[in-house]
Amino acid sequence: MGSLYSAGCQDFLGLSPQDVASSPLYLDCVVLTRGSSYSALTTSCLVAFAGLLYRCILTPTFFRNRYKKSYSDLQPRQRRTFQMDHIDFILKTISLTFSVGPVYLVLMQGRRWSDPCFGTSKFKLGDSAFFATAVLSALFLFQLLCEERLKFVDTLHHYGGLLIIQGYAAWNVSLPVGKPLLFAEVRMMADICLLWLVLSDAYGLIKTASLILRRCFQPATTALVRLYMFAFCATMAMTILEAVVVFYAAYLSWDKLSTLSKVTIYVLQGLFTWSKYNNNLPFYAMYKQSRTKSCIARCYL
């Protein structure tokens, strides 16, 4: 397949065999094309991995041994949600691990997608980024399939995420031959998708960790009140940060993006911000409720 990617990118960019070895644009093209081609297969394997966690590893027995009474006191629906939260946390941790490096090196240090992750490794920064997006895509698919009480706003968020991840992969490998200028837009969209990925992973880890940790505290305690307040403030901050960063990145590339790309970015970012905002509000509601109960409990001491 490597020869096929090589020939395709050489033909697409209109390069002679002598220019291939010295063209950084060609190397980026090969990496992004390879990543897009394997996107569906990688996502399918990761969905199977999530299913393995769900069926064989993160079982009720595991949670009873780990969380004791905190888990035993939960209702069946709460136990299922608790299990899904752990799968969410694991997959987003993996995704963030593989996406932080490309964000720092490509967007902040000026490295290229075709640069190796470590020394002379054949695993490129673009490969790492594509794997991270496949992990998040697999998580969205798994939750759409297995989460019985997924909110409507979360359903829209997941469909939007799948649209940009899988749509980008399809767009990347279907560029018309003889129009290499379009590849510059592909790379810009890759940068913006990577920003979405990292900020979404960071937001998701804060949210999911807070939902898991609340089961470790006694009700109506000061620690639980502080946890809810932290979760609300941190998730709101990440929601605002994501919107500001993505809109600013799109603004910097405004003249080089097509109208369709601009509309896609702004519509999806609006959807993501709305979804996250609605998911943040329950933390504030739980904070007020827990604070009231904590005050009442102290009054009767």
Greater confidence (294 vs 110) lies with 110
Render pLDDT for 199-234 as a digit per residue (tens, 0 to 9). Answer: 999 999 999 999 999 888 777 678 888 899 999 999
Per-residue model confidence (pLDDT) at position 297: 46
Contact 31, 173 (CB under 8 A): no
Per-residue model confidence (pLDDT) at position 262: 85
How far is Cα 30 from Cα 20, in angstroms, rounded to an integer?
11
How far is Cα 226 from Cα 238, in angstroms, rounded to an integer?
18
Q: Which of 9, 237, 246, 203 is nearest to 107 (CA)?
A: 246
255: pLDDT strictly greater than 60: yes
299: pLDDT strictly greater than 50: no
pLDDT classification of 300: cutoffs 50, 70, 90: very low
User: Residue 93 is which amino acid?
Assistant: T
List CB contacts of 250: < 8 A, sequence separation 6 or more: 192, 257, 262, 265, 266
List CB contacts of 254: < 8 A, sequence separation 6 or more: 262
- Reduce the DSSP state of residue 147 to 3 states and report it: coil
At 269, give phi and psi (nearest 5°).
-65, -35
Per-residue model confidence (pLDDT) at position 83: 92
pTM of the model: 0.86
12: pLDDT strictly greater than 60: no
Q: If you average pLDDT over every residue of the chain, what do you get? A: 82
Render pLDDT for 102-148 as a digit per residue (tens, 0 to 9). Answer: 888 888 888 888 888 887 778 888 889 889 989 999 999 999 988 87
Longest Cα–Cα distance of the chain, Å, equals 83
How far is Cα 16 from Cα 13, in angstroms, rounded to an integer?
9
Interior CA angle at 155 toward 150 and 157, to 5°? 130
| Proportion of the chain above pLDDT 90, given as a percent | 31
18: pLDDT strictly greater than 80: no
